[in-house]
Amino acid sequence: MKNVPLYIAGEFVESQTDQWIDVTDPATNEVIARAPCTTDAEMRRAIDNAGEVFKAWRETPVSERARVMMRYQALLKEHHDEIAEILSSETGKTFEDAKGDVWRGIEVVEHAANIPSLMMGETVENVAREVDTYSYTQPLGVCAGITPFNFPAMIPLWMFPMAIACGNTFILKPSEQDPLTPMKLAELFEQAGAPRGVLQVVHGGKEQVDILLTDPAIKAVSFVGSVPVGRYIYETGTRNMKRVQSFAGAKNHMVVLPDANKDQVVKALVGASVGAAGQRCMAISVAVFVGEAQEWIPEVRDALAAAKPGAWNDKSASYGPIISQKAKERVESLITRGEEEGANLLLDGRNCTVDGLPDGNWVGPTLFSGVKTDMDIYKEEIFGPVLSCMEVDTLADAIALVNDSPYGNGTSIFTSSGGAARRYQHEIEVGQVGINVPIPVPLPFFSFTGWKGSFYGDQHAYGKQAVKFYTETKTITARWFSSDAVAETNFSIRMR
């Protein structure tokens, strides 16, 4: 049995804990490793070391920090498929999906390599007579990241490269369900020449998270996960005077107008709803059909029925298993509740089987129509391959429906009308909008901008907002008492 190590003070060490968490392959439910619940002493050592290393790292020239990121992105590319295989083995993601997870993380590291230009301050000369004002962007100190199971490469790479490039040190607490991928990321970061202690990796659950949220040495915390945990992270962290960005749940709507390209709509809905087994915070879980577009629902059902789950290395598989048996049971219970509440179950993914893998956490593609806003399948984030269809008469009705949702992570509209698209992007109260793009996740030079109950905080992930989150601005107003006469006198004295 492989014990997942800690990464503390630049060393991969085995924890001295007596509490371990099983890491399972969700396609077989076999235990493939054990993750430690980091002891209090080990947490203390990681935090203290990160604080000590920060003193030197913050003085490291920004160009040197950028070169670490350049070497790191080169190593990540070199080991891209290896990381994806590790990721697939512990999440069940198909290999192609896993490679996308890794690649989106690499893109953020490439963005972090531009840190010299991203950290530039501002200057105004002569704000008053012979008085100049300018600003510096300076790091915070020790920062922490708490990451979820569904993107074990991309989301850690959202966090620590940007924070460290800004001059901070970082403590990562990855999901206990798939810690092997983040450990590989740490291994390659060390190989890239990052100084010992700039990055620390600890493991565990709520007890370890609470230490990060309450220890005064931690200056900022970044989190991605569920709504209740996200709210807890934000409230606890801010109550302890920390800067917090907390990305929580979602219920993403795709609005379909009757003038859209039907084939594009059907393909987009299949990939965006069941891809990664629906375990994406940007997954489309609600399709809103406007007017005559409601007639397309049977074709969506037929296309979804052709999507089949399977093993990560099965090239014919559309997606993999649900992460755990508990998560599978929750998804299936919500399907049952949707049926009981009166929604039309057009495609039932319960009791799904995959040949040769009888013990996997399989849920087949599931489709409801006639879904109402008071149903649990609409109100709750299912986080499975379940698509709910809703029917409205007009675009205005669709906008009102989406805006009434407590979540605001992502949304999209499919239409051939520029006027309708512009109205939608202008009026919709959601942070990320796609026009004929089902999952509008921005590239790293923009920021990931969830709204409402999908995000707690002020500054978002990666992009320019991440630099603001991980830094403070210092403004200097300077006046030097010198004139031509004084300068000439001083020069004459020095020449004697």
Instruction: State the residue for tokens 């290999």.
Output: 95
d(Cα 437, Cα 414) in Å, to the nearest integer?
A: 8
Q: Are 424 and 403 in contact (CB under 8 A)?
A: no
Q: Are 293 and 311 in contact (CB under 8 A)?
A: no
What is d(CA 50, CA 59) in angstroms, rounded to the nearest whole number?
Answer: 14
Q: Please state, in angstroms and rounded to a whole number, the distance separating the CA atoms of residues 295 and 258.
A: 9
Which of 236, 299, 238, 239 minimizes the C-alpha distance to 265?
A: 299
Q: Which of 143, 281, 352, 389 is catalytic?
A: 281
281 an active-site residue? yes
Distance, CA of 139 to CA of 148 (rounded, Å): 25
Report CA-CA distances (Å) from 220 to 12, 65, 452, 472. Answer: 24, 20, 21, 11
Fill in the amino acid letter for 16: Q
Structure tokens at 112: 């972090």
For residue 25, what are the contacts with CB-CB under 8 A and spacing of at least 6? 32, 89, 90, 92
How far, in Å, CA of 378 to CA of 375, rounded?
Answer: 5
- Residue 222 CA to residue 244 CA, distance in Å, equals 6
Angle of CA points 365, 308, 326, to nearest 5°: 60
Active centre residues (catalytic): 281
